[in-house]
Amino acid sequence: MQSQTASLISAELRRRFDTSSRVLVLTGAGVSAESGVPTFRGGGNTAVWKGMPFDVISSAGMIERDLPAVWEWFDYRRNLLQAVEPNAAHIAIARWQDRFPDFTLVTQNIDGLHQKAGSRDVVELHGNIWRARCVACSMTIGLNEHRACLGCGAHLRPDVVLFGELLPPGAYERAADAASDVELCFVVGTSALVYPAANLPALAKRAGACVVEVNPERTPLSDFCDEVLTGNAGDILPLF
Protein backbone atom coordinates (compact mmCIF):
# COMPACT_ATOMS: atom_id res chain seq x y z
CA MET A 1 0.00 0.00 0.00
CA GLN A 2 1.43 3.45 -1.05
CA SER A 3 2.12 5.83 1.90
CA GLN A 4 0.11 9.04 1.97
CA THR A 5 3.21 11.11 1.12
CA ALA A 6 4.18 8.86 -1.79
CA SER A 7 0.72 9.29 -3.28
CA LEU A 8 1.47 13.01 -3.49
CA ILE A 9 3.50 12.34 -6.63
CA SER A 10 1.19 12.07 -9.63
CA ALA A 11 1.87 9.68 -12.50
CA GLU A 12 2.40 12.70 -14.76
CA LEU A 13 4.99 14.19 -12.41
CA ARG A 14 6.71 10.83 -12.06
CA ARG A 15 6.82 10.58 -15.87
CA ARG A 16 8.24 14.12 -16.13
CA PHE A 17 10.86 13.30 -13.52
CA ASP A 18 11.85 10.10 -15.29
CA THR A 19 12.05 11.66 -18.75
CA SER A 20 13.45 15.17 -18.16
CA SER A 21 17.12 15.98 -18.69
CA ARG A 22 17.11 19.76 -18.11
CA VAL A 23 16.10 20.46 -14.51
CA LEU A 24 16.34 23.44 -12.17
CA VAL A 25 15.81 23.47 -8.42
CA LEU A 26 15.25 26.74 -6.54
CA THR A 27 15.51 26.50 -2.76
CA GLY A 28 14.80 28.77 0.16
CA ALA A 29 15.09 28.69 3.93
CA GLY A 30 12.48 25.93 4.22
CA VAL A 31 14.87 23.34 2.78
CA SER A 32 17.10 23.86 5.84
CA ALA A 33 14.26 23.99 8.38
CA GLU A 34 14.48 20.26 9.14
CA SER A 35 18.19 20.73 9.88
CA GLY A 36 17.17 23.16 12.62
CA VAL A 37 17.86 26.41 10.76
CA PRO A 38 15.08 28.93 11.54
CA THR A 39 13.22 30.28 8.49
CA PHE A 40 12.57 34.01 8.11
CA ARG A 41 8.83 34.12 7.56
CA GLY A 42 7.30 30.63 7.55
CA GLY A 43 4.90 29.88 10.40
CA GLY A 44 3.53 33.43 10.45
CA ASN A 45 6.27 35.09 12.53
CA THR A 46 9.29 37.16 11.50
CA ALA A 47 12.77 36.73 12.94
CA VAL A 48 13.87 39.52 15.32
CA TRP A 49 17.41 40.26 16.54
CA LYS A 50 18.00 42.41 19.63
CA GLY A 51 14.65 44.10 19.04
CA MET A 52 15.43 44.73 15.35
CA PRO A 53 13.40 42.87 12.69
CA PHE A 54 15.82 40.75 10.62
CA ASP A 55 15.15 42.81 7.51
CA VAL A 56 16.48 45.90 9.34
CA ILE A 57 19.67 44.36 10.71
CA SER A 58 20.08 42.72 7.27
CA SER A 59 19.73 45.96 5.31
CA ALA A 60 22.37 47.68 3.19
CA GLY A 61 22.40 50.85 5.30
CA MET A 62 23.62 48.88 8.32
CA ILE A 63 27.05 48.35 6.72
CA GLU A 64 27.62 52.11 6.86
CA ARG A 65 25.77 52.66 10.12
CA ASP A 66 26.98 49.78 12.28
CA LEU A 67 29.21 47.13 10.67
CA PRO A 68 30.09 45.56 14.06
CA ALA A 69 26.37 44.94 14.68
CA VAL A 70 26.07 43.31 11.26
CA TRP A 71 29.01 41.02 12.09
CA GLU A 72 27.43 40.22 15.46
CA TRP A 73 24.15 39.20 13.74
CA PHE A 74 25.91 36.96 11.21
CA ASP A 75 28.32 35.59 13.85
CA TYR A 76 25.22 34.59 15.84
CA ARG A 77 23.64 32.88 12.81
CA ARG A 78 26.94 31.19 11.92
CA ASN A 79 27.24 29.82 15.44
CA LEU A 80 23.76 28.36 15.05
CA LEU A 81 24.99 26.62 11.91
CA GLN A 82 28.16 25.14 13.40
CA ALA A 83 26.44 21.96 14.58
CA VAL A 84 23.87 21.79 11.79
CA GLU A 85 23.91 18.98 9.24
CA PRO A 86 22.24 18.70 5.84
CA ASN A 87 18.91 16.86 5.90
CA ALA A 88 17.27 14.35 3.57
CA ALA A 89 16.12 17.14 1.24
CA HIS A 90 19.66 18.48 0.74
CA ILE A 91 20.91 14.93 0.18
CA ALA A 92 18.20 14.13 -2.38
CA ILE A 93 18.98 17.30 -4.34
CA ALA A 94 22.70 16.51 -4.29
CA ARG A 95 21.91 13.10 -5.81
CA TRP A 96 19.95 14.74 -8.61
CA GLN A 97 23.01 16.57 -9.99
CA ASP A 98 24.34 13.20 -11.21
CA ARG A 99 20.95 11.99 -12.40
CA PHE A 100 20.08 14.83 -14.79
CA PRO A 101 22.45 15.71 -17.67
CA ASP A 102 21.62 19.41 -17.34
CA PHE A 103 20.99 20.26 -13.69
CA THR A 104 21.06 23.67 -12.00
CA LEU A 105 20.69 24.26 -8.28
CA VAL A 106 19.85 27.84 -7.34
CA THR A 107 19.60 28.76 -3.67
CA GLN A 108 18.60 31.81 -1.69
CA ASN A 109 20.23 30.24 1.35
CA ILE A 110 23.55 31.42 2.69
CA ASP A 111 24.08 28.42 5.04
CA GLY A 112 26.24 26.29 2.72
CA LEU A 113 24.24 23.14 3.56
CA HIS A 114 23.75 22.19 -0.09
CA GLN A 115 27.51 22.12 -0.58
CA LYS A 116 27.91 20.21 2.71
CA ALA A 117 25.49 17.60 1.27
CA GLY A 118 27.70 17.26 -1.83
CA SER A 119 26.06 19.70 -4.24
CA ARG A 120 28.56 21.21 -6.66
CA ASP A 121 28.44 24.48 -8.55
CA VAL A 122 25.54 25.90 -6.52
CA VAL A 123 24.23 29.28 -7.75
CA GLU A 124 24.15 31.30 -4.52
CA LEU A 125 21.84 34.23 -5.15
CA HIS A 126 22.27 35.75 -1.69
CA GLY A 127 25.91 34.97 -0.95
CA ASN A 128 27.39 32.68 1.68
CA ILE A 129 27.74 33.17 5.45
CA TRP A 130 31.10 31.33 5.52
CA ARG A 131 32.77 34.03 3.39
CA ALA A 132 33.75 37.67 3.87
CA ARG A 133 34.07 40.43 1.27
CA CYS A 134 36.11 43.61 1.23
CA VAL A 135 33.96 46.76 1.34
CA ALA A 136 36.49 48.52 -0.96
CA CYS A 137 38.00 46.04 -3.46
CA SER A 138 35.23 43.36 -3.15
CA MET A 139 37.81 40.61 -2.74
CA THR A 140 36.10 37.60 -1.13
CA ILE A 141 37.84 35.25 1.29
CA GLY A 142 36.94 32.31 3.47
CA LEU A 143 36.18 33.54 6.96
CA ASN A 144 39.08 33.89 9.39
CA GLU A 145 39.91 36.02 12.39
CA HIS A 146 40.84 38.97 10.15
CA ARG A 147 38.25 41.71 9.79
CA ALA A 148 40.54 43.68 7.44
CA CYS A 149 41.11 42.92 3.74
CA LEU A 150 44.47 41.20 3.15
CA GLY A 151 44.59 42.92 -0.26
CA CYS A 152 43.86 46.58 0.44
CA GLY A 153 43.44 46.68 4.22
CA ALA A 154 39.87 48.00 4.10
CA HIS A 155 37.08 46.58 6.30
CA LEU A 156 35.62 43.16 5.57
CA ARG A 157 31.90 42.53 5.68
CA PRO A 158 29.89 39.25 5.53
CA ASP A 159 29.67 38.07 1.89
CA VAL A 160 25.90 37.97 1.99
CA VAL A 161 23.36 40.06 0.07
CA LEU A 162 21.56 42.47 2.35
CA PHE A 163 18.18 44.02 1.61
CA GLY A 164 18.60 46.87 -0.87
CA GLU A 165 21.78 45.38 -2.33
CA LEU A 166 22.44 43.89 -5.75
CA LEU A 167 22.89 40.17 -6.14
CA PRO A 168 26.41 38.80 -6.78
CA PRO A 169 27.53 39.67 -10.34
CA GLY A 170 26.21 37.14 -12.86
CA ALA A 171 24.40 34.93 -10.33
CA TYR A 172 20.85 35.87 -11.30
CA GLU A 173 21.72 35.96 -15.00
CA ARG A 174 23.06 32.42 -14.80
CA ALA A 175 19.99 31.24 -12.94
CA ALA A 176 17.65 33.02 -15.36
CA ASP A 177 19.43 31.53 -18.38
CA ALA A 178 19.05 28.06 -16.95
CA ALA A 179 15.41 28.63 -15.93
CA SER A 180 14.59 29.78 -19.45
CA ASP A 181 15.57 26.41 -20.85
CA VAL A 182 14.35 23.70 -18.46
CA GLU A 183 11.72 20.94 -18.66
CA LEU A 184 11.20 20.60 -14.91
CA CYS A 185 11.52 23.21 -12.16
CA PHE A 186 11.24 22.46 -8.43
CA VAL A 187 10.57 25.33 -6.00
CA VAL A 188 11.44 24.06 -2.54
CA GLY A 189 10.96 25.79 0.79
CA THR A 190 10.59 29.40 -0.25
CA SER A 191 7.78 31.87 0.55
CA ALA A 192 8.40 33.27 -2.96
CA LEU A 193 8.19 36.84 -1.66
CA VAL A 194 11.72 38.00 -2.43
CA TYR A 195 12.70 39.10 -5.94
CA PRO A 196 14.36 38.53 -8.29
CA ALA A 197 14.65 34.91 -7.03
CA ALA A 198 10.86 34.51 -7.02
CA ASN A 199 10.86 35.39 -10.72
CA LEU A 200 12.68 32.22 -11.76
CA PRO A 201 9.67 29.85 -11.70
CA ALA A 202 7.84 32.21 -14.07
CA LEU A 203 10.78 32.06 -16.50
CA ALA A 204 10.71 28.26 -16.34
CA LYS A 205 6.96 28.17 -16.90
CA ARG A 206 7.32 30.47 -19.91
CA ALA A 207 9.87 28.01 -21.29
CA GLY A 208 7.23 25.25 -21.07
CA ALA A 209 8.58 23.61 -17.93
CA CYS A 210 6.49 21.74 -15.38
CA VAL A 211 6.77 23.80 -12.19
CA VAL A 212 6.52 21.91 -8.89
CA GLU A 213 6.24 23.53 -5.46
CA VAL A 214 7.28 21.69 -2.28
CA ASN A 215 6.15 23.50 0.87
CA PRO A 216 3.99 22.71 3.90
CA GLU A 217 2.22 26.04 3.34
CA ARG A 218 0.70 27.71 0.29
CA THR A 219 2.61 30.60 -1.22
CA PRO A 220 1.86 33.27 -3.86
CA LEU A 221 3.28 30.75 -6.37
CA SER A 222 0.99 27.83 -5.50
CA ASP A 223 -1.83 28.71 -7.90
CA PHE A 224 0.71 29.18 -10.65
CA CYS A 225 2.44 25.80 -10.23
CA ASP A 226 1.59 22.66 -12.19
CA GLU A 227 2.05 20.50 -9.11
CA VAL A 228 1.91 21.49 -5.43
CA LEU A 229 3.36 18.93 -3.04
CA THR A 230 2.22 19.97 0.43
CA GLY A 231 4.58 18.81 3.15
CA ASN A 232 8.17 18.90 4.34
CA ALA A 233 10.93 18.77 1.75
CA GLY A 234 12.78 16.15 3.78
CA ASP A 235 9.80 13.80 3.51
CA ILE A 236 8.92 14.51 -0.11
CA LEU A 237 12.15 14.90 -2.11
CA PRO A 238 13.60 11.47 -1.20
CA LEU A 239 10.49 9.93 -2.79
CA PHE A 240 11.72 10.82 -6.24
Catalytic residues: 126
Distance CA 87, CA 109 (A): 14
**106 part of the interface to ligand APR, by CB under 6 A:** no
**35 part of the interface to ligand APR, by CB under 6 A:** no
71 vs 181, which CB is nearer to ligand APR?
71
**128 part of the interface to ligand APR, by CB under 6 A:** no
97 vs 128, which CB is nearer to ligand APR?
128
**191 part of the interface to ligand APR, by CB under 6 A:** yes
Whether a cis peptide bond, with omega within 30° of 0, leads into 196 is yes
**Contact by Cβ (8 Å): 90, 113:** yes
203 vs 233, which CB is nearer to ligand APR?
233
Interface pick for ligand APR out of 5, 9, 13, 34 (rule CB under 6 A): 34
Measured over the CA atoms of residue 97, residue 189, residue 229 and residue 34, the dihedral's sign is positive
Give the interface segment with ligand APR, choosing from 13-21, 116-124, 167-175, 213-221 (CB under 6 A).
213-221
Interface pick for ligand APR out of 66, 85, 102, 217 (rule CB under 6 A): 217
**190 part of the interface to ligand APR, by CB under 6 A:** yes
Interface pick for ligand APR out of 16, 17, 20, 41 (rule CB under 6 A): 41
Q: Are strands 156-160 and 127-134 parallel, antiparallel or unpaired?
A: antiparallel
Q: Are strands 210-215 and 227-230 parallel, antiparallel or unpaired?
A: parallel
Q: Binders of ligand APR: how many residues, by CB under 6 A? A: 24
Interface pick for ligand APR out of 20, 23, 28, 175 (rule CB under 6 A): 28
Q: Which of 32, 56, 54 is nearest to 41 (CA)?
A: 54
Q: What are phi and psi of 157, to 5 degrees?
A: -130, 160
End-to-end CA distance of the chain: 17
Q: Which of 182, 161, 176 is nearest to 22 (CA)?
A: 182
Binding site for ligand APR (CB under 6 A): 28-30, 33-34, 39-42, 108, 126, 189-191, 193-194, 214-217, 219, 232-234
